[in-house]
Amino acid sequence: MRVVGGRELRADCSRCAGVCCVAPAFTASADFAIDKPAGRPCPNLGADFRCGIHTELRQRGFPGCTVFDCFGAGQHLTQHTFAGRDWRADPAIAQRMFDSFAVLRPLHELLWYLTEAVRLTPPGALRDELTAALDETGRLTDGTPDDLLALDADAHRNRANRLLSRAAEQARAGRAGPDRRGAMLIGVNLRRTPLAGANLRGACLIGAD
């Protein structure tokens, strides 16, 4: 379990209400065996909020589930934001819970990247800015459902991404690799591709090796 500033940045499904198995929509594809609309529980979700086919996800046609990571947002949402309540026992909060997860999960992912950027950046003005962004993002994750739903998450993420881009450029200084920003690399075999110092920001790597 990775903990930063008291926040867990790895999923602990045992303390979550199976939110990632309900809130998002997915379409039958190479990643998911069925269509599922947003807000409808996956048929594999058990009464205990655990996946009934967890050990067979790939064999049963759900490899997309095996690569999903909420970065700890699921248990934070369940235990902190909604104080232990869940959508099944209290259906009145279901939609607010799912909508809040859509904001909280990207914030937790951002916490992960900012933490790494602070670790990689030497002391100086940029590191101070990254640390401030990390602290601010952490504060936002502790908001109430109303706070989360009122947040302009895209604006916050864009500000943080500018800092992350500067930190990445500094980290790669003198050893820049291929620039594959925004590249469509779905299912591509990259095992023999030199990627040291590469820029993969925004690249789509679903199913890539």
Residue 77, SS3? helix
Whether 66 shows a pLDDT value over 70: the answer reads: yes
Nearest-angstrom CA–CA distance, 109 and 73: 8
- For residue 21, the model assigns a pLDDT of 97
Nearest-angstrom CA–CA distance, 76 and 16: 8
Buried (b) or exposed (e) across 116-142, using 16+ Cβ within 10 A?
A: bbbeebeeeebbebbeebbeebbebbe
Left, alpha or beta for 195 (phi > 0: left; psi -120 to 50: alpha)? alpha
Q: Using alpha carbons, select from 75, 67, 61, 81 the residue that is nearest to residue 18.
A: 75
User: Structure pTM?
Assistant: 0.85
Of the pLDDT bands very low, low, confident and very high (cuts 50, 70, 90), residue 6 is: low
Neighbour-count burial of 74, counting CB atoms closer than 10 A to its CB (0-12 exposed, 13-18 middle, 19+ buried): buried
pLDDT in tens, 30-39: 899 999 999 9
Q: Find where tokens 């800092």 sit.
A: 163
Beta pairing class for 7-8 and 3-4: antiparallel
Mean pLDDT of all residues in the chain? 92
Q: Indicate the DSSP class of residue 62.
A: -
Nearest-angstrom CA–CA distance, 26 and 19: 14
pLDDT in tens, 111-169: 999 999 999 999 999 999 999 999 999 999 999 999 999 999 999 999 999 999 899 88
Cβ-contact 163, 126 below 8 angstroms = yes
Tell me the domain boundaries of the chain. Answer: 3-171, 177-209
Buried (b) or exposed (e) across 146-158, using 16+ Cβ within 10 A?
A: eebeebebeebbe
For residues 22-34, average pLDDT: 93
pLDDT in tens, 89-120: 999 999 999 999 999 999 999 999 999 999 99
